[in-house]
Amino acid sequence: MKIVEQIKQPVAFEMELFEQKFQLSMSSKVALLNRITHYIVNRKGKQMRPMFVFLVAKMVANGEISERTYRGASVIELIHTATLVHDDVVDDSNRRRGFFSINALWKNKIAVLVGDYLLSKGLLLSIDNNDFDLLKIISIAVREMSEGELLQIEKARKLDITEEVYYEIIRQKTATLIAACCSLGAASVKPDSQDIEKMRCFGELIGMAFQIKDDLFDYGEEKIGKPTGIDIKEQKMTLPLIYVLNNVPKKDKSWLINSIKNHNKDKKRVKEVIAFVKQNNGLEYAINKMKAFQAEALNILKTYPESTYRSSLELMVNYVIERKK
C-alpha cells in the first residue's frame, strides 16, 4: 500500500464524505464558474490538508468528529485553492501539478475572479455557521502567507538573508498553512482547549521540516519534476546556501553572491555552486535542522494516547522528510 493511502486509512470514510461536501460548497449559479470549479476538483493532489484536519480532530477527541470538522476542512481547502489560483497568476505559471492552470485555460482576469469567488465562499461558509473561531485561524494563516511571500521578495533582492529571517519566511509561507490545518482540526472538536495551540505548534514544525526537505531537492540527484539548481537560477535563498554563505571566507562569499546574482543562468556555474555548497556541509547542516524539527513534532504527538490516528500522524511526519518528491 502506498504510504499516502496508509496515512489516509483511519479517515478514509471522512475523506470521501468531505469530497462530496467540498464540491457542494463550491457550487454557483454561473455555468462558467461551475465548469472551472469542476476542473479544479478533478485535479486535486494528495489532499494532505484535509487529512491533517481529520486526523488531528480524531486524535484529540478519541475518534469523534462533528459537522464543524467537515466545514473546517472545506474552508481551508476553499481558501487555499483561492491562493493557488492567484499564485499562478502572480507567477505567470501555465501548469499546476502537471495540468494547465486556470489562468492558462481561462486567462488572468477570470482566474483572479475565480480566486476571489472561492475566497468569499470560504468566508461565508464559516460566517453562516458562526464558526468565527475557525475563520480566525484561517484568516491569520492567509495574512501570514502573504507577508511571507512579500518578505521573501524584499530579501531576495539583496541576498542578505540570515538564518533567522529564512525561518521566518518559511514559517509564514509554508508552515503556517499546515499549522492552521492542525489547530483547526483541534478547534473543530474541542473549542477553547489547550490542544488548539499544541496542534498549531505541531503543524508548524512539520511545515518547517517540509520546506527544508524541498530546499534539499535543489541539490539532489533524484528526478522530482523540477530540475536541480532551479532555486539558484531563481535566486531563492535556501538553507544549505544560507549556511554556507554565512560560514565561508569573504572571498568565497563574494564568489557565491556574484554567481547567484550574475551567473544564475550559466549551467556550469550553477553546478559549481551546488558542488561548493555540498563541500562546505550545507546539505548536512540543513538535514540536521530538518531532523530536529521532525523530532520536536513527534514529541508533541507522544503526549497523546496511542491510536490509529496518532500512528497516521507519525507516519505523516516521517513521510514529510523521507519523501522522494
**Residue 320 placed within a domain:** no
**pLDDT average, residue stretch 109-136:** 88
Q: Whole-angstrom Cα distance, residue 270 to residue 249? A: 20
Separation in Å, CA 236 to CA 63, 128, 140, 206, 241: 42, 41, 25, 21, 9
**Residue 164 placed within a domain:** yes
**Residue 322 placed within a domain:** no
**pLDDT average, residue stretch 75-100:** 76
**Residue 131 placed within a domain:** yes
pLDDT of 96 reads 64
Q: Is the pLDDT of residue 224 over 60?
A: no
Q: 143-194: per-residue pLDDT in tens?
A: 999 899 888 888 777 777 888 999 999 999 889 999 999 999 999 999 989 9
Q: 23-46: per-residue pLDDT in tens?
A: 888 778 888 888 877 777 766 667
**Residue 100 placed within a domain:** yes
pLDDT of 258 reads 86
Q: Is the pLDDT of residue 299 over 60?
A: yes
Q: Whole-angstrom Cα distance, residue 192 to residue 134? A: 11
Q: Do the beta carbons of residue 52 and residue 309 sit within 8 Å?
A: no
Q: Do the beta carbons of residue 242 and residue 161 sit within 8 Å?
A: yes
Report how far Cα 183 is from the mean position of its chain's Cα atoms. 15
**Residue 245 placed within a domain:** yes
Give the predicted TM-score (pTM) of the model: 0.87
The tally of domains found in the chain comes to 1
Write out the residue range of the structural domain in which residue 224 sits: 3-309
Query: What's the CATH code of the domain at 298?
Result: 1.10.600.10
Structure-model confidence comparison of residues 9 and 87, the more confident one? 9
User: Nearest Cα to 138, choosing from 126, 150, 121, 152?
Assistant: 126
**Residue 73 placed within a domain:** yes
**Residue 231 placed within a domain:** yes
